[in-house]
Amino acid sequence: MGAFPDGLNEQVGYEFAASQQYVAIAVHYDAQTLPRLAAHFYRQAVEERNHAMMLVQYLLDADERIAIPGLDTPQTAFADVVEPVRLALEQERRVTQQISALTQLARTEGDLVGEQFLHWFLQEQREEVSSMGALLAVVERSRENVMLIEDYLARETVGDAGVDPGAPPAAGGAL
């Protein structure tokens, strides 16, 4: 296996870890009876899981070995309503850096198909960072009245809800 397929396998783990972290955040908000925040992060968890499965499908299609890595335990305790969203934004920024590095690796190795495949992920990450940054701004402003955050999420569409007809196929289908 070359460096690019190895990197994609590593990214599969990062995407699954992001999914688990979003489940942990969703459960945290669910336990506080904040259903809109919880629903947002449950959706984000599914989206990250599907990103991992898109990478798996690419590796399958490229006839490369797939190694599903183990995951570290996600953070489950948070100091306040803001901390989980701040963590989510940091995670999205980190994933953006990872995808950018993978795209550069594909280019360096002359894997134009791999580079083209990752362009969708780069666009997705730009949207994810922007969306999570906006949510963080709302949460920081409304930390003293969390129901304002719930109202905001009830009124506004935050993120793309995982629906993109131009997305790469996911192994097992997008669930």
Residues 19, 45 contacting (CB under 8 angstroms):
yes
Question: For 63, left (φ over 0), alpha (ψ -120 to 50), or beta?
Answer: left
Fold classification of 3-155 is Ferritin (1.20.1260)
**pLDDT score, position 15:** 97
**pLDDT score, position 98:** 97
**pLDDT score, position 172:** 78
For the chain, the straight-line distance linking the first and the last C-alpha, in angstroms and rounded, comes to: 29
Q: H-type helices in the chain, by residue range?
A: 3-31, 35-61, 83-108, 112-141, 146-155
Residue 19: both structure tokens together? 């999914």
**pLDDT score, position 175:** 55
**Residue 172: exposure state from Cβ atoms within 10 A (0-12, 13-18, ≥19):** exposed
- Each residue's pLDDT tens digit in the chain (175 positions)? 589 999 999 999 999 999 999 999 999 999 999 999 999 999 999 999 999 999 999 999 999 999 998 989 999 999 999 999 999 999 999 999 999 999 999 999 999 999 999 999 999 999 999 999 999 999 999 999 999 999 999 998 776 555 566 778 777 775 5
**pLDDT score, position 62:** 95
Q: Where are the domains of the chain?
A: 3-155
**Residue 63: exposure state from Cβ atoms within 10 A (0-12, 13-18, ≥19):** exposed
